[in-house]
C-alpha cells in the first residue's frame, strides 16, 4: 500500500429479505418523474415488478418505463432509453435487475443531458460527464457485477463488435442506494447463478493478480475469495440456501466497489478478453470470463509466480511442503479449475459460439491493459484465445 | 449473513504521503468559521500544526482552537469545547490527531446546538441528536481507533469513573473526510504505535468472536487480522517502514467503520472491561484492551470453541492435525499471546496502575454486552479482572 489514493463510496445499501420496504424511505428524496428500468420481464413473473410498482404508486411517482434491457446492453438501446428519459423529464432512474440493468441506468444517467454522442464521448474517448446527471437507485435481482455500488458501466456496440466498460471518476455516478434482497436471487437459473459467482471471483482476481507490494487489499481479497468459494459450493448443491445466497450477494458488492483495489495496480485483462468474446458471441458475461481465465492465468503465471504461489496457499489451502514455487502456483490454478468445473461453468469459448474465424476480430477488440504481471502483445492474445477454443 | 442490515459510509478518504494537500479541496465546501481541535501539542513539534494552519489561512478561514484534548477526553473538556465552538459560531470542526481527538470533535459536533446536557443525553441515555450537528473533518496523526470513518465517540467522566462510548446511528455524524498520511504516524513513540495496533486487532476480534452463522464479514476479518499481524511485525522491527505503517493505518480504518460487523452480532466485552479500567487508571486505551484480553478470551473459549478453532487455523496457521478442537483453539490464543509479547504490549492491568482495591469499582463500571459467546455475570467479571491483575 504505497501509492496515494482516494476512496469514497456513499451508496446506501439496504440488505435482507425485508429490504424492499426501504424504497419507501428513499423515493421521497427524489423528484416525481421516475423512469423504471428493467430487463427481459422475469420480474413480471416473479412478482418483483408488481411490488416495485405498488411502492412507486404509493409514493405518488409519475412512472415511465424502459423495458427489455438486454444482458449486454447495446448502444441502440441506450439511445432509445435516453429519448424516453428526456421525454418523461426524468428526475430519477430506478433500475430493477442485475448488473446489465444497473450499468445501463448509469449510462442513461450520464447521457440524458449530454449534448454529444454518449458512445463516442464515454466509451470511445473515456471522457467524464460535464452535464447534469440523474440519480440512480437499484433493486438487485441478479448477482455478480457489483454495479450496484460502483461507477462502472459497460455498453456494447454490436455494429462494431465492441463491448466497452467505463468506470466513471465521480462518486455521484454511483447509485444513491441499492436494495439487496437475497430472496430475489433464489429464482435465477443455475447457469446465471454460477456465471454471477464466477464474475465475482474474477473481479477479485483482476485486482489481486497485480503488483509486488505488501497491501491490506490483497488480504481482504483472499478473505473474500475464500468466502465466495465456500458459499458457492453450498449454493451449487442447494440453490435455495438463503444463507449462502446472502453471502454471495454481499461478496459481489465488495468485490467491485473499489475497496480491494485501493493502493494497488490492477490487471483486468480477463475482462478485456471476455468482453471482446462477448461482443462477438453475445454470451453471458461471467461465462466469457470463465472460458478465457485459465489459458490467461497459466500464460502469465511465470511472470508472477510469487503471487500465484500465495494464491494457492492462502486461497486454496495448497500444502507447499516439498514443492517448488511453480508447482505450488500451478496446483492453485488446478484447484481453481476443479472448482470451476464443479460449478458447471463454461470452460471454453467454442461452447459460447466463438469460432476460429472470429479469433482475429476478437483480438482486435481486446483492449490491452498494462497492470498485470505481463503486458500482452497481439501474438499472446491470439495464443490465449486459440487455447480458449477448446 | 442472515439478518437485515443497512450500510452507508460516505466519509471521503485521502490516503498517502501527499494527502494533506486535499485539505485545499475540502475546506472550500464549508463555512468560514473553523475550530481546530488537537491534543497535547506534538503536532506543534512535528510541523503538522504549521502545515494545517497555513492551509486554513490560505483558504481564508477564521480559526479558533481547542487545544489539549487528552487521550481519554473528559466531559469537562467537552463542556469547554462546546463553549469555544458556540462563541466562535463554528461552521466546521477540524480534528488533527488520533482517535481521542476525532471522538472529541464528534462529541462537540452533536453538542454545540444541544439544549440538554450532552453527557446525560448521549452517554447515559444513549439518545440521538435532535439538533443541528456540525460537519467534522479529520487529519489523522495516530492510528487505531477507526474514528476517522465511523460515528463513534468515547467520552470519560472522571468524577463518576465512567468511560462510555456511543456509536451514533446517523451517518451524518461520520467525518465528512479524513486525511490519512502514513508519514504523520512515523514519529509516534513505540508504545503508542503498538497500543494502536492492538486496538485495531481487538476491534476485529470484538466483531469476529460472535455468532454461529456463516458470514462474509468473518472472512474479511480474517484477512484484515492476518494483514495487521504481518505489518505489525515489520513495523515493530522497523518503525520507519512506510509500507508497513501504511498498511496499519488502512487496516485500522476498515477494522471499525461498520463493514466487518454487517449482518453479524458482535461482542465488545473486551472494550467494556478495558474502558472501565481506563476510567480508573487513565491508561492508554489499547493497553487496557491488551491487559484484559487473554483472561477474557480464555474464559469464554469453552462457549465458542468452533470459532476459536477457526481463528487458530485461519489467522494463526495452527496445524490442526491430531489435536482436539479445544487444543487447537488454545493454541490460537497462545500464538496471539506470543505476538502480543513480541510487540511489547502491557499484559496486565497492575502495570497500568490498577490495584486489587479498584476491582469492585471497575466491575461496577463495566457495561455487560450480550453478543459474545457467554454473557458474563458480575462474578465472572470480577474473576477476569482479578486474573488480569498479574
**Does the ipTM surpass 0.90?**
yes
Q: What is the rounded average pLDDT of the residues B128-142?
A: 97
Query: What is the rounded average pLDDT of the residues B2-19?
Result: 94
Q: What is the rounded average pLDDT of the residues B233-257?
A: 97
Out of A5, A215, A246, name the one closest to residue B1 (CB): A246
Average pLDDT, stretch B198-212?
A: 97
Task: Report the pLDDT value the prediction gives residue A44, as an integer from 0 to 100.
Answer: 94
Look up the pTM and report it. 0.96
Residue B334 CA to residue B302 CA, distance in Å, equals 15
- The mean per-residue pLDDT over the stretch A235-251 comes to 97
Q: Residue B3's pLDDT is what? A: 83
Task: Kindly report, residue by residue over B329-350, the tens digit of the pLDDT.
Answer: 999 999 999 999 999 999 999 9
Residue B30 has pLDDT above 90, yes or no: yes
CB contact B281 to A (< 8 Å): no
The closest CB to that of B4, out of A17, A224, A254, belongs to A17
- Residue B199 sits at the vertex; the CA angle it makes with B198 and B201, to the nearest 5 degrees, is 60
Q: Using an 8 Å CB-CB cutoff, list chain B residues near A221.
A: 223
Which of B1, B13, B18 minimises the CB distance to A247? B1
Give yes or no on whether A12-185 and A194-387 have one common fold. no
Mean pLDDT of chain B: 96
Can you tell me the mean pLDDT for B138-150?
A: 93
Domain boundaries, chain A: 12-185, 194-387
Contacts of B242 in chain A (CB under 8 A): 2
Contact B7 A13 (CB under 8 A): yes
Answer yes or no: are the C-beta atoms of A289 and A270 closer than 8 Å: yes
Residue of A nearest to B251 (CA): A216
Task: Find chain B residues with C-beta within 8 A of A201's C-beta.
Answer: none
For residue range A190-217, what is the model confidence (pLDDT) as tens digits? 999 999 999 999 999 999 999 999 999 9
Distance from CA of B171 to the nearest CA of A (A): 10
**Fold topology of B190-387:** Dehydroquinate synthase-like, alpha domain (1.20.1090)
Structure confidence by residue, pLDDT tens digits, A58-116: 999 999 999 999 999 999 999 999 999 999 999 999 999 999 999 999 999 999 999 99
| B181 has a pLDDT exceeding 80 | yes
Largest interatomic CA distance in chain A: 68
Instruction: Supply the pLDDT for residue B191.
Output: 95
Q: Residue A3: what pLDDT?
A: 83
Give the residue among B50, B208, B73 at the shortest CA–CA distance from B139.
B50
Residue in chain B nearest A18 by alpha carbon:
B4
Task: State which CATH number among 3.10.20.30, 3.40.50.720, 3.40.50.1970, 3.90.170.10 fits the domain covering B12-185.
Answer: 3.40.50.1970
Average confidence (pLDDT) over A282-296: 96
Architecture of domain A194-387: Up-down Bundle (1.20)
Distance set, CA B247 to CA A96, A211, B59 (Å)? 38, 15, 31
Model confidence at B1: pLDDT above 80: no
| A99 grid coordinates | 448488473
Which residues in chain A have Cβ-Cβ distances shorter than 8 Å to B243?
A: 1-2, 213-214
Amino acid at each position: 500500500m504505497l501509492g496515494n489514493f482516494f476512496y469514497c463510496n456513499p451508496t446506501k445499501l439496504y440488505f435482507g429479505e425485508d429490504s424492499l420496504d426501504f424504497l419507501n424511505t428513499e423515493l421521497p428524496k427524489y423528484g416525481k418523474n421516475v423512469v423504471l428500468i428493467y430487463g427481459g420481464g422475469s420480474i413480471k413473473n416473479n412478482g418483483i415488478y408488481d411490488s416495485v410498482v405498488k411502492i412507486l404508486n404509493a409514493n405518488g411517482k409519475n412512472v415511465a418505463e424502459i423495458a427489455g434491457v438486454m444482458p449486454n446492453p447495446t448502444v441502440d438501446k441506450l439511445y432509445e432509453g435516453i429519448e424516453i428519459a428526456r421525454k418523461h423529464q426524468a428526475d430519477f432512474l430506478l433500475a430493477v435487475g442485475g448488473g446489465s440493468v444497473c450499468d445501463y441506468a448509469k449510462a442513461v444517467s450520464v447521457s440524458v443531458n449530454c449534448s454529444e454522442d454518449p458512445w463516442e464521448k464515454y466509451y470511445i474517448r473515456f471522457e467524464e460527464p460535464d452535464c447534469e446527471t440523474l440519480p440512480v437507485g437499484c433493486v438487485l435481482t441478479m448477482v455478480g457485477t457489483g454495479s450496484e455500488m460502483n461507477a462502472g458501466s459497460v455498453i456494447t456496440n454490436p455494429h462494431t463488435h465492441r463491448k466497452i466498460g467505463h468506470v466513471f471518476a465521480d462518486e455521484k455516478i454511483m447509485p444513491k442506494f441499492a436494495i439487496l434482497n437475497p430472496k430475489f436471487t433464489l429464482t435465477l437459473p443455475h447457469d446465471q447463478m454460477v456465471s454471477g459467482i464466477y464474475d465475482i471471483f474474477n473481479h477479485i482476481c483482476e485486482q489481486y493478480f497485480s503488483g509486488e507490494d505488501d497491501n491490506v487489499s490483497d488480504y481482504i481479497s483472499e478473505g473474500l475469495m475464500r468466502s465466495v468459494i465456500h458459499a458457492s459450493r453450498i449454493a451449487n448443491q442447494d440453490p435455495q440456501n438463503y444463507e449462502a445466497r446472502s453471502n454471495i450477494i454481499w461478496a459481489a458488492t465488495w468485490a467491485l466497489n473499489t475497496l480491494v483495489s485501493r493502493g494497488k495496480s490492477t490487471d483486468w485483462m480477463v475482462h478485456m478478453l471476455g468482453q471482446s468474446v462477448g461482443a462477438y458471441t453475445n454470451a453471458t458475461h461471467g461465462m466469457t470470463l470463465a472460458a478465457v481465465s485459465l489459458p490467461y492465468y497459466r500464460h502469465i503465471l511465470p511472470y508472477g509466480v510469487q503471487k500465484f504461489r500465495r494464491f494457492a496457499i492462502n486461497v486454496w489451502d495448497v500444502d507447499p511442503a516439498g514443492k517448488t514455487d511453480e508447482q505450488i502456483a500451478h496446483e492453485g490454478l488446478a484447484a481453481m479449475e476443479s472448482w470451476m468445473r464443479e460449478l458447471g461453468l463454461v470452460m471454453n469459448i467454442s461452447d459460447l459460439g466463438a469460432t476460429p474465424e472470429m479469433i482475429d476480430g476478437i483480438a482486435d477488440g481486446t483492449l490491452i491493459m498494462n497492470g498485470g504481471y505481463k503486458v500482452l502483445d497481439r501474438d499472446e492474445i491470439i495464443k490465449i484465445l486459440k487455447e480458449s477454443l477448446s
